[in-house]
Chains A and B, each alone.
Chain A
Amino acid sequence: MIRIEPEPWAAMVAHARASYPNECCGAMLGAAEGDTKTVRQAIALENAFEGAQAARYELRPEDLLAADKAARERHMNLIGIYHSHPDCDAYFSATDLRNSCPWYSFVVLSIQKGEFHHANCFLPNVDQTEAPKEELIY
């Protein structure tokens, strides 16, 4: 189960709306106690995908390294990644799965006509063959 506190949640939704009609992406910092995760801070990261970003995103490893460093300095943990699906539902696509990392929770925000619509969270497996849903509270 992953719970996103109101402040980071508002930041994530604002980031996703501001990036519309393109996809946005970012990192989620917080605490993890076993399978219970709490997101306390969201860090907006640049979508580094070269090409049309309406249906693609890419994170720079350097930016993830910096996010992990920031988390350690703030006595938090890097626990998840978020990205948006403009005018699409919040599913975990084949592209998402193929480019995923099983270490993190993946929150997908559906933005329809520029407004937040719904969100889901996924936990991809190590072989990148499936990504079951993780309970998401926001």
Chain B
Amino acid sequence: MAKILIPTPLRQFTAKRDSVNVPGATVGEVLAALTTEFPDLRKQIFNDEGKLRSFVNVYLNDEDIRYLGKDATPAADSDTVSLVPSIAGGAAN
């Protein structure tokens, strides 16, 4: 049961919980279990094709899973999964 930290604005979809423990041997399974338990979260994290939205980065502890094993990254009970946004911008259109 890895722990997933829920960003504040998403707690409206997780019965106000700021972290959730869900089963899963990999990060992909953990995210699938999370969005099964809290279906309203799915739209915030995944697009219609079931891929992570462009602004969502997933971290296992302090590492971006993109540089680990992506969805197949093993998740242990002691691990913490974080949903971290990509944010940029600027006045230039």
- Residues of A participating in the B interface, judged by any CB pair closer than 8 Å: 23, 32, 49, 55-59, 61-62, 64-65, 68, 71-72, 77-79, 81, 83, 85-86, 88, 91, 93-104, 106, 126, 128
State whether B84 touches A65 (Cβ < 8 A): yes
Q: Interface 1/0s, chain B 59-93, versus A by CB < 8 A?
A: 10010100000000000000000101111111111
Number of A-B residue pairs having CB atoms within 8 Å of each other in the complex: 99
Instruction: Give which listed residue, B8, B10, B44, B87, contacts A59 with CB less than 8 A.
Output: B87
Q: Is the interface of A mostly helix, strand, loop or mixed?
A: mixed
Tell me the B residues contacting A by CB distance below 8 Å.
Answer: 5, 7-10, 18, 43-44, 53-55, 57, 59, 62, 64, 82, 84-93
With both beta carbons as reference points, the residue of chain B lying nearest to A124 in the complex is identified as B55
* Cβ A64 vs Cβ B91 within 8 A: no
Residue in contact with A104 in the complex, picked from B9, B64, B91, CB distance below 8 Å: B9
> What is the distance, in angstroms, from A46's C-beta to the closest C-beta of chain B?
13
